[in-house]
Amino acid sequence: MSSTPTLRSAVGPWVDGDRFWNRDHECRRLIELLDEGASVSLIAPRRVGKTSLMREVSRRLQDRYVCLHLDLESAHTPAEFFAELLSASHVHTSAYQRLLAALESLIVRVTEMKLAEVTLNLRAHLTASWERRADRIIAALAQFDQPTILFLDEVPVFIHRMMCADGTQPTEAGIREAGLFLSWLRRALQTHQSHLRAVVTGSIGIEPLLQRVGLSATINHLTPLELRPWDAATARGCLMALANGKNVTFVSNAEADVVDKLGAAIPHHVQIFFERLLDHVRRQGVAAIFPKDVEEVYEKEMLGIRGHTALAHYETRLDHVLAPEHKPLALALLTRAAVNESLTLDEAMALAGDDFADIEDALVTQLLDILEHDGYLARGPTTGSYHFESHYVRDWWRLRFARMVRR
């Protein structure tokens, strides 16, 4: 029997159990924080495995906590948040029953309704001055012997939608509503501290989003927990375990070449690379992956049109964290960092001064901070200059945008 562990591959959706690799430290830390009664903000750039970590921790905690997973991707309003809460609780019969009981004074004959009908009613009833009703709903969850954990995914997208109402830019009323909701959540978690916690995350950073509209203080009760890309050894272990599961082998340390090519071992990129390599060798009818296969697949597949589909969000997500008038400068800074492989602060200032009128130095530093916070750029510990954290994203960015810059 082989001593190499086996991992079932998965590209795209969240993973747990026998598809979940490593993250021992982060799982332990998150469980420790939740056991201490903390609510947590799980911070990581895209595709690093936030949703998977929450799912895996919830799998490990299901005997001790009621774990409710809310995906707020398409929610716009507090009422829709509670509709999601109700849907998430549906699999926990007693939690669902308690929530229905709390809704009895609001919706006539609610206990006789199917879930879809209740959520529809809820959307209509929790519009203006929803907070007191919301207090009653959340208090119902805090009555269990077992504490409840709300795993709240895609919170920044939800908050952004609320802030923008129907448009693409935050409005005053939208910002007020978002602030009201976040303050309500903080109050609810503090009121029911012994029986309720939340883990908040999303595929865009919440901090720059809130900072932009002066709402940062509404989340300062959350304990931050950072999730980084895998280190090289963990990523190599993952690749070998994936290969083991598919009866193929890496020859001449080709798995180390995969990690080198990626630069930052973002779990999703590791899994995509493996899937493409597997495809490539299977088409040739062989079961060994050589360094030359890694090279070929990187150039033709990872940087080709299929790679573009996986990475296009690096461009589009900038719209969520930047004001539209600042996006061209952010694109230019990133492109310069991709083409030259590094960018000093002086070069960034010069670029802004040459090509963008009326841009103040403080704004350039602010943009670089956001790009660093959101996982695009990292700063060299000795030089202090910026470079793309992921070589893969850098190479893709260069191919996509290099025509834009003067060298």
Q: Which residues bind ligand ATP (CB under 6 A)?
A: 10-15, 20-21, 23, 44, 46-52, 203, 267-268, 271
If contact means CB under 5 to 8 A according to the sort of partner, which of Mg ion, ligand ATP, none does residue 271 touch?
Answer: ligand ATP
State which residue, 46 or 69, has the beta carbon closest to ligand ATP.
46
| Count of chain residues binding Mg ion (CB under 5 A) | 2
CB 121 within 8 A of CB 113: yes
If contact means CB under 5 to 8 A according to the sort of partner, which of Mg ion, ligand ATP, none does residue 121 touch?
Answer: none
Distance CA 163, CA 172 (A): 8
Sort strands 66-71 and 148-153 into parallel, antiparallel or unpaired. Answer: parallel
Should residue 51 be labelled a site residue for Mg ion when binding is judged by CB under 5 A?
A: yes
State which residue, 50 or 192, has the beta carbon closest to Mg ion.
50
CB 176 within 8 A of CB 130: no
Shortest gap between Cβ of 48 and Mg ion (angstroms)? 9
Helix (H, G, I), strand (E, B), or coil: what is residue 388? strand
Distance CA 35, CA 217 (A): 24
Distance CA 315, CA 367 (A): 15
Q: Which stretch binds Mg ion (CB under 5 A): 42-50, 103-111, 245-253, 371-379?
A: 42-50
Question: Which residue is at the shortest CB distance from ligand ATP?
Answer: 49
If contact means CB under 5 to 8 A according to the sort of partner, which of Mg ion, ligand ATP, none does residue 144 touch?
Answer: none
Shortest gap between Cβ of 266 and ligand ATP (angstroms)? 8
State which residue, 48 or 225, has the beta carbon closest to ligand ATP.
48
Distance CA 208, CA 317 (A): 12
Give the dihedral sign, CA 365/368/370/372: negative
- Tell me the helices (H) and strands (E) count for the chain, helix number first: 20, 9
State which residue, 88 or 138, has the beta carbon closest to Mg ion.
88
Sort strands 249-250 and 377-379 into parallel, antiparallel or unpaired. Answer: unpaired
Q: Which stretch binds Mg ion (CB under 5 A): 44-52, 135-143, 252-260, 291-299?
A: 44-52
Q: Which residues bind Mg ion (CB under 5 A)?
A: 50-51
